[in-house]
Amino acid sequence: MTQTRTKDMLVLVDESDNETGTMEKLEAHQKGALHRAISVFIFDGHGRVLLQKRHIGKYHSKGQWANATCSHPAPGEMPFMAARRRLQEEMGFDCPLRFLFRIVYRHDVGGGLTEHELVHVFAGTYDGPVRPDPSEAEGYQWMDFDTLAADAKRQPELYAPWLRIYLQQHGEQLRAAAAPQG
């Protein structure tokens, strides 16, 4: 019998973000169970947004462009700490983050899997080197925010569903966060 590692367990929540239990990651996505997630947007000093191309080996949304980091807190881990940890693990750097908003969404991502997440969304500004973990991201790019928003409408299949949802529902808030610093 194989034991499930803590990092493979998701924190189940209700729509008010009260914890209701835990569930193995794949099972939660198969059942469409509402779980806690984190998402990080990184902007450079020119207001461009950092995108990662999801590794082709991911079990959903593979090869699509997403914001810098999207993941799940481990049981007992605060969303802010998970965001900092996963930014370092996925993109190879750390920077100060600020909370932007919380969102609940449900989306069929294909293959019998459903993302049903209550997401804590954070943003940061960073102008240093990016060193993505090749098992997480096949590549990255910096893109002007308005160019991203327009391209996600024009070619939605290129972008992860949650990124498109954030752009649709919180586009103005993200645009404000992207405003060049200084």
Q: What is the CATH number of domain 13-175?
A: 3.90.79.10
Q: What is the pLDDT along the chain (182 residues), one digit of tens a residue?
A: 344 455 589 999 999 999 999 999 999 999 999 999 999 999 999 999 999 998 766 666 667 899 999 999 999 999 999 999 999 999 999 999 999 999 999 988 878 889 999 999 999 999 999 999 998 899 999 999 999 999 999 999 999 999 999 999 999 999 999 987 65
- Choosing from 89, 117, 136, 138, which is the catalytic residue? 117
Residue 182 exposed, middle or buried by CB count within 10 Å (0-12, 13-18, 19+): exposed
Query: Which of 24, 70, 77, 115 is the catalytic position?
Result: 70
- Distance between CA 4 and CA 9 in Å, rounded? 7
48: tokens are: 């461009």
Q: What is the pLDDT of residue 55?
A: 74
The count of other CB atoms within 10 Å of the CB of residue 26 is 14
Q: Is 117 a catalytic residue?
A: yes
Contact (Cβ atoms closer than 8 angstroms) between residue 45 and residue 39: no
In the annotation, is 95 catalytic? no
Q: What is the pLDDT of residue 37?
A: 97
In sign, the C-alpha dihedral spanning 72, 61, 122, 139 is positive
CA dist 25 and 167 (Å) reads 25
Half-sphere exposure of 10 (CA within 13 A, CB side): 25
Q: Tell me, what's the pLDDT at 5? A: 53
